[in-house]
Amino acid sequence: MLTANEHYRSVFGCKMYKASISFAKSCPNRDGTKGTGGCIFCSAGGSGEFSAARDKTITRQIDEAISLVERKAGPDAGYIAYFQSFTNTYCSPDELALALDEAMAHPRIKALSIATRPDCLPDKILEVISEKSSEMPVYVELGLQTSNDQTAKLINRCYETKDYDDAVRRLKEIGVNVITHVIFGLPGETEEKMMESVRHCVKAGTDGIKFTCLYVLKDTALEKMWRAGEFEVLGEEEYFDIVEKAIELLPPDTVVHRLTGDGPKKLLLAPMWTADKRGVINYINRRFAK
């Protein structure tokens, strides 16, 4: 495996930071097109509580995101415009092109990262992404979470794993860098099922992977299941044991973009160790430092 830093340095020659952008208004798993209520773990903010408000222009959102990290990042850092919340290709090709153009026009932006669902990549949208990727590196982040279709039904993902396989193939055909999101600790998933998801992503040809420990947020369907005792969240050591095994399954050139995620503190119910960002970073440094 490669770390994200190693990857970015080799591609851009500098440290890269993400400037989160709130662009998409919803997702087809919330508005009834594919499902209602969304994935059971997803909060009303659509996995993007940290994004700046959507009513600001993309340029302003980027400026504000940069100003938050600029002192730490220094003048040589590069930035990735990260279209994070909801499903960012769930719009017309023209709307997407306009949004990407605005981000690309920002002088500090060196790459685009677009979070979406595999079932929201019709040909016209791929044409836009392909066109932009000829001007600037583009990453497309796919929320797979699990390759197990039974778990996918349980979490109300509302697309099949074969849709993911198809999306990875089509994105790779246009030369886009694919990052897959996988969640460990989903209800009913054994460690073997989690490893199977990782093997599946590798076989599909993902370039990178983001691991996240399942966390329970307020006012989600997952909260009800958790309160009813239908599953238990993973402990810190238990989670990173799984991550360590997952990393062993990755080819040397697969980029690990994230070892775990942290949910919005004001909504987080469990596991609380994920809220201790500094503690988690220290733990990761002790355990995974090369």
Give the footprint of ligand SF4 on this chain (CB under 6 A): 27, 29-30, 38-39, 42, 46-47, 86-87, 117, 143
> From the CB of 29, what's the least distance to ligand SF4, in Å?
4
> Which of residues 1 and 221 has its CB atom nearest to ligand SF4 in the complex?
221
> Which of residues 38 and 185 has its CB atom nearest to ligand SF4 in the complex?
38
> From the CB of 27, what's the least distance to ligand SF4, in Å?
3
> Which of residues 115 and 129 has its CB atom nearest to ligand SF4 in the complex?
115
Residue 46: which of 91, 87, 18 has the closest Cα?
Answer: 87
| Start-to-end Cα distance in the chain | 11
Q: Is there a contact between 193 and 152 (Cβ–Cβ < 8 Å)?
A: no
**What's the CA gap between 222 and 112, in Å, rounded?**
31
> From the CB of 259, what's the least distance to ligand SF4, in Å?
19
- Residue 289 Rama label (left phi>0; alpha psi -120 to 50; beta): beta
> From the CB of 72, what's the least distance to ligand SF4, in Å?
29
18: amino acid identity, one letter: K
> From the CB of 209, what's the least distance to ligand SF4, in Å?
17
> Which of residues 46 and 208 has its CB atom nearest to ligand SF4 in the complex?
46
> From the CB of 206, what's the least distance to ligand SF4, in Å?
17
260: amino acid identity, one letter: T
> Which of residues 42 and 209 has its CB atom nearest to ligand SF4 in the complex?
42
**What's the CA gap between 58 and 102, in Å, rounded?**
7
Alpha-carbon distances, residue 139 vs 12, 18, 133 (angstroms): 14, 12, 9
Would you list the DSSP string of 8-44? HHHHHSS-EEEEEE------TTTBSSS-BS-STT--T
> Which of residues 27 and 204 has its CB atom nearest to ligand SF4 in the complex?
27
**What's the CA gap between 81 and 65, in Å, rounded?**
10
User: Token digits for 108?
Assistant: 């500090």
> From the CB of 139, what's the least distance to ligand SF4, in Å?
17
> Which of residues 61 and 87 has its CB atom nearest to ligand SF4 in the complex?
87
